[in-house]
Every structure is written in structure tokens, then in C-alpha cells.
Structure 1
Amino acid sequence: MKKAIYALILPLVVVSGLLFANREIKNENSKKSTAKPLSAAEMKAELRKWEATPEGIKFKKWEASPEGKKVLAGAAKISKPISAFTNMEAVVTSLSLPPGSHLGFGVMAKINGEDYILSFGLEKSNEFQQLHNLKVNDKIIIRSHSASYAPKYSYPIVSGDYVERDNKIIYKRPPNKGGC
């Protein structure tokens, strides 16, 4: 009887030992794989390497072109309200984005006399339902955390984080889950 009990317990101990050891190895690998942030000098070196690639050269040419300068100036024009996350008055100029854009749902808007792409991201269920009720020439108040640009687009891209019309909130981006 004792031999049968030992015969059953021994494989159980061996298997649990192997599982525990395997878990330790996985934990060590995950700790080693986290990359440390690059220093300023390393980031500059990486940027220089990227600027030497065909994509980097194309981007630098676009930045120096009249169209690129116009887009960069438009992005700079709203940098203060974006960094402070303050209200910006906008007028909806088009309910569709430029042809060929891959930004998800968005509208064109004029802020301080400049045209911008107001992008909200990929459409999920009813998330943008009230935004679909916008009309051309609607005056809205927007807030954003970021503006970007790309050679593909002739306008700066403003991420729509908050939209208000007639003192009513019609869109507010939900906070990121599990992060900053």
C-alpha cells in the first residue's frame, strides 16, 4: 500500500517541481526583455539614421516644400491650446475626410481661419452617434491632446478628444484603459 502511495505522490512532486521551475524561467525572461528608455543622444542618433532612409529623405523634402510648411504652420498655430487642453472654437466645413484617408471617422473643421482634419479614430458601435448629427457650418467647441501631420495629408490632423455644440457635450473620448 505504501508503495502505491509513493508511486502516486512521486510523479505529482516531479510535475509540480517542473511547473514551478518553468514559471521562474518565464519570469526571468520577462524581466530581461523590458527595454530601457533611450537617452537623448541615442534618440538623436536613431533620428539621424531614420533621416538617411528613403522614408526620412522623403519626409524632409515634404517638410521643406510649401505644402509641408503650410501644414507645419497650421499645427504650430494651435499648439498652445492643445498643450493646455483648452477650448478651441471650430466650424465644421466638411462631413467627410479627404479622399484616400485612413484615419477612421472624422470631419474637416476650420479653427482660427485654418483648415484641419478633426479625427476621432476607428468607429466602434455607437461611440460617435451624436457626431453623425453634425452639419456643415455647425459651430463647435473642441479640445484635443494632440495634433499631428503626415506628408499624405494636406492638413494638420487634430485628435478629437472633446466636442461640444450649443453648450452640450456631444463627444468625450473615454479614458485609456490600464494606462496613463
Structure 2
Amino acid sequence: MNGVNQADEHTELSTTELRDVAAYAVSCAEPAMAIFESARPDDHRPREAIEAARAFATGAKRSKLIRDTAWAAHRAYQETRDAGQLAASEAARAAVAAASAAYLHPLAKATQVLHILGPAAHAARAYELHADDAPAIAREHLEKARNLASPTVVSVLTRYPPAPGGRGRAGELVRILDTALRQATTLR
């Protein structure tokens, strides 16, 4: 790396690219809202985070609304997790991740990949849990997410190092999707 510390490396991100990443994040996370909403029909916090991310993706400015709705969706994630509603909890995490995509940092760190692929991974995990921990369901959702990734999303993704290790099953799903997008392969 020519003596440059990875922590000092940056990648350029245009507003258009950030909007494309946010749109991708919304497209990946939104289908899982049905899982959350079936468990908590009166709780609109994750849906509001998705809508705030969608507004940014379609031209609104990044605003405090995105952060506020993401934090509210995070509280919904915690509440459903604590209540043992694990599929709904992962769906709420997908919404949190979708809102955070609008704040993808230009720091070339592997953790930033979570802003790009986290919505798809958490949604896939929600579907997997909803289907009694069926890995084939998660792979099916990741394949849809792979197909939704535009050339711009893949271009942005490949400016970052591969996804980091750890983070349980959702982290594993991020790494599966990351590898598939970088290698332009189908999921195994």
C-alpha cells in the first residue's frame, strides 16, 4: 500500500452514488417489513426508516430525519429481540441498515461494507428465521439482492476491502453476498 495506512485511505463517493446505494439498501430491506409488520402491526418505526432512506435515494437531502428514524427503528429491533420475536427483530435491523446506507463513509474500511450489504443480509436472516431457520430461504433472498445490485452499487462496493469477519449469521450472509458481487457469481 505504498506505506499508507489503510485507516488513512479514502474513496470518493458522489451524491449520486450514495443515492444509488441507499436505493439498493431500501430495495433489499423493504420486503422484510412484512415480517416485522405482521409481528408488530402498530409499530411503524422500521417502515419510517425505510421511507426516510427512500426519500434520500430519490432526491431529498440527508437530514436528521434519517438518523432519527434509524434510531427509532433500532429501538424497535431491540424491543422485538428482547420479546423473542427474532425474525421481526432482524427485519427491523434491515430497516436500520437501510437508513444508515445514506451515511456510507468514504473511509476505505471493511466495516463500511455493512452499510452497503447489511440491509440485504438482515432481511435474508429475517426470512430465514421466519421459515424456521431455513438456509435455502436466506440464499434465495441474497440471490435476489445480488440481482438488484446495479453496476454503480458494485463499483462502490469494490472500492472497499472485503466484508469483515464476525457478526454472527448476519455477518456470514454479508460475506456470502459480498463475495458473490465481487466475483459476479451466483450464490452457493
Higher RCO structure (Cα 8 Å, ≥6 apart)? 2
Which TM class, normalised by the smaller chain length? under 0.3
| TM-score under structure 2 length normalisation | 0.24
| TM-score under structure 1 length normalisation | 0.25
Q: Hey, which of these two has a bigger chunk of strand by percent?
A: 1
Whose radius of gyration is greater, 1 or 2?
Answer: 1
Q: Hey, which of these two has a bigger chunk of helix by percent?
A: 2
